[in-house]
Amino acid sequence: MLNGKTALITGSTSGIGLGIARGLAADGADILLNGFGDADEIERLRGQIADEHGVRVIYHGADMSQPAQIADMIETANHEFGRIDILVNNAGIQHVAPVHAFPVERWDAVIAINLTAPFLMTRAVLPQMLERNWGRIINIASTHGWVASVDKCAYVASKHGVMGLTKAVALETATTGVTCNAICPGWVLTPLVQKQIDDLAAREGLSADAARVHLLGEKQPSLAFTTPEQLGALAVFLCSDAAANFRGAGLPVDGGWLAQ
C-alpha cells in the first residue's frame, strides 16, 4: 500500500518508534530513522529493516530539542527521498517530580522535545504535503493527553498540548488529502518499561510476572502491555485510504485505561 511513499519517524531507534518504522517499512515505505543509541546497533537496525522489506532506510541523529538539527534532518530527507509523505512525531522524554520541586530546566526540555518539536516538524513538512494533496501526520500522544497522573506535570502538559496541536492541524487540513491524528498509548512494553519492571521486581522481591501485574494494575485494566508492533499496525491503518476521514482523532491503545 505504501510503495513509493516515504516516512520520517522521530525517536525510532527503539521502542514505539522502531515498531512503527518496521510496520511502515513492511508496507513498502522508505524510512528515515531518528534517535539516539549505539552507532553500530543503529546501523544494524537500518540494514536489517532495509534488507527485510526491500525499502530504502537512512538515519539522521537530530536532537529534537535543537531546531537547527530538526531543519537539517528534514532537508536530508527531502534530498535523499525527494519528499516526505508520512510524518510520525514520536520522540519524547519524561521527568517525574512534584510540581513544587519540578526543575525548570527539565520542564523546558520536556516541552521542547514532546511539544515544540512536533510543531516544528509539522510546520516544515506540511507545505509539501498540501502541494501534493496527500500526507499523513501521526502524533504519538499518550493516555496522558487525556488524563493526568501525579508528579508528571510537564509530560501531561506536553501531551495535552500534542492533542491540541493535532486537532488544530486536522481542522486546517480538513478539506485536503492531508490528515493529522494522534495515537494515545497506555503502558507499552518497551526496553525502558522493561527496565522499570526489572527494577521493581528487584526492589520488592517480586517475580517478573508479579512485577508486571503490579505496574499495570493501577492504570491498565487489561493487565496486558500494548506492543510496539500493535502501534505500528495502527500507524499503517492511519496511512490507508480507509482512514482518509479520520481527522483530529486521539486513538487510545490503553487496555481500558481511559474507560475507567
CATH number of the domain bearing residue 104: 3.40.50.720
Q: Do 17 and 255 touch, CB atoms closer than 8 A?
A: no
Cα(167)–Cα(27) distance, rounded to whole angstroms?
27
Structural element, H or E, at residue 137: strand 135-140
Q: Are residues 52 and 109 in the same domain?
A: yes
pLDDT of residue 192: 79
pLDDT reported for residue 104: 98
C-alpha–C-alpha distance, residues 52 and 19, integer Å:
14
Same domain, 181 and 249: yes
**Are 135 and 205 in the same domain?**
no
Query: How many domains, the chain?
Result: 2
CA angle 232, 145, 253 (to 5 degrees): 35
**In a domain? residue 260:** no
- Provide the pLDDT for residue 193: 87
Q: State whether 200 and 181 are in the same domain.
A: no
| Domain enclosing residue 175, as ranges | 6-186+227-255
Q: Residue 56 to residues 41, 120, 223: CA-CA distances in angstroms?
A: 18, 25, 37
- Please give the positions annotated as active site: 155
Residues 111 and 220 both lie in one domain? no
Sheet containing strand 86-89, edge to edge, reads 57-60, 30-34, 6-9, 86-89, 135-140, 178-185, 250-253
Longest CA–CA separation in the chain, Å? 58
DSSP for 184-251, written as a single string = EESSB--HHHHHHHHHHHHHHT--HHHHHHHHHHTT-TT---B-HHHHHHHHHHHTSGGGTT--S-EE
Return per-residue pLDDT of the chain as tens, 260 residues. Answer: 899 999 999 999 999 999 999 999 999 999 999 999 999 999 999 999 999 999 999 999 999 999 999 999 999 999 999 999 999 999 999 999 999 999 999 999 999 999 999 999 999 999 999 999 999 999 999 999 999 999 999 999 999 999 999 999 999 999 999 999 999 999 999 887 888 899 999 999 999 999 999 989 989 999 999 999 999 999 999 999 999 999 999 999 999 999 99
Do 221 and 102 lie in one domain? The reply is no
Same domain, 10 and 44: yes
**Structure letter (DSSP) for residue 152:** B
Same domain, 36 and 121: yes
The reply to whether 41 and 130 lie within a common domain is yes
Q: How far apart are CA 77 and CA 73, in angstroms?
A: 6
- At what angle are helices 191-204 and 208-217 packed, to 10 degrees? 110
- Residue 194 belongs to some domain of the structure: yes
Say which amino acid occupies 31: I
SS3 (DSSP) at 64: coil
**Residue 37 lies inside a defined structural domain of this protein:** yes
The predicted pLDDT at position 213 comes to 92
Q: Are residues 55 and 106 in the same domain?
A: yes
In a shared domain, residues 35 and 122: yes
